[in-house]
Amino acid sequence: MLTPPKETKDDRPAEFVEALAKGLAILESFDESHPDMTLSEVAKRVNLSPAAARRSLLTLKALGYVGQEGKRFHLRPKVMALGSAFYFSARIDEVLQPDLRSLVERFGDASSVATLDGHSVIYVAHHSRQRARRAAAVAGAAYPAFATSMGRVLVAAKPDDELDDWLETLEPVALTSKTCLDKAHLREELMQVRENGYATTVDQLDYGITALAVPVRDFEGRTIAAINSSGYTGLVTPEKLVAERLPELRATASHIASQLGRYPVLANVLRN
């Protein structure tokens, strides 16, 4: 269930606008499993009263972000303008996409850049040659960080106390029969990721995905993003990815990091 932010949280500024938070939570509540919903379904999904959900939905409808057919609400194309504003202002196509295309041209398969948002990774950029059905790794997609190679790289970079807090609040869900749900074992794997400087996963997020990820660090050495290269389980193994792609993946991460000084907005986007 999606829950709009609460005013009682200590990290909320005095100027926090609850109504805006509710509206954004409603926009985020629509997904592949919930492409259209009734007012009561929206209210339940974002933990709002029907009256509050109605006010937000009608406001979003008046602004052109939400449409309505009978009693069911759906997103409208105008929502995409929010993502494109981010994409172009951060210069994603200019800075990140060329490197991802180069990786895919060399190795095939797919490559992405992602950042950490709570217990999720959000894909900032993606390029792929793949056509088979699998978890959609498009820019803007969010997935459980614990089940992805990029998420594990990002979490492993946390200081020990923050990592332990992150694990304590984690509620892992089985996405495949191979998804690691044991927090103690996951912590061991994260420590190994920290030691190795890379992470590999096999069928953790979805069947058929084997991936390798490395950190992207800023000029102070802080991990601010992760970049991966993935292929089909059965065609590639973690060992093959490490042997054939790790040096190039690290070189690409370094190249991206070297460009951040010339693109301060993108640096801030990845850092924050």
CATH of the domain at 186: 3.30.450.40
Q: What is the pLDDT of residue 264?
A: 84
Whether residue 205 sits in one domain with residue 265: yes
Task: Report the C-alpha gap between 43 and 32 in whole angstroms.
Answer: 18
Task: Report the C-alpha gap between 139 and 269 in whole angstroms.
Answer: 14
Residue-number span of the structural domain to which 201 is assigned: 82-271
Q: What is the pLDDT of residue 267?
A: 84
Whether residue 190 sits in one domain with residue 100: yes
Q: What is the pLDDT of residue 136?
A: 59
Q: What is the pLDDT of residue 137?
A: 67
Q: What is the pLDDT of residue 130?
A: 62
Instruction: Determine, yes or no, domain membership for 4.
Output: no
CATH of the domain at 54: 1.10.10.10
Whether residue 68 sits in one domain with residue 118: no
| Domain count within the chain | 2
Looking at residue 167, its amino acid is L
Q: What is the pLDDT of residue 96?
A: 93
Whether residue 248 sits in one domain with residue 179: yes
Whether residue 166 sits in one domain with residue 149: yes
Give how far Cα 212 sits from Cα of 50, 86, 95, Å. Answer: 44, 26, 21
Whether residue 30 sits in one domain with residue 125: no
Instruction: Determine, yes or no, domain membership for 224.
Output: yes
Weakly modelled stretches of the chain, pLDDT under 70? 1-11, 130-137
Q: Which residues, other chains included, contact 98 with Cβ-Cβ below 8 Å and sequence gap of 6+?
A: none
Instruction: Determine, yes or no, domain membership for 8.
Output: no
67 burial class (0-12, 13-18, 19+ CB within 10 angstroms)?
Answer: middle
Q: What is the pLDDT of residue 203?
A: 96
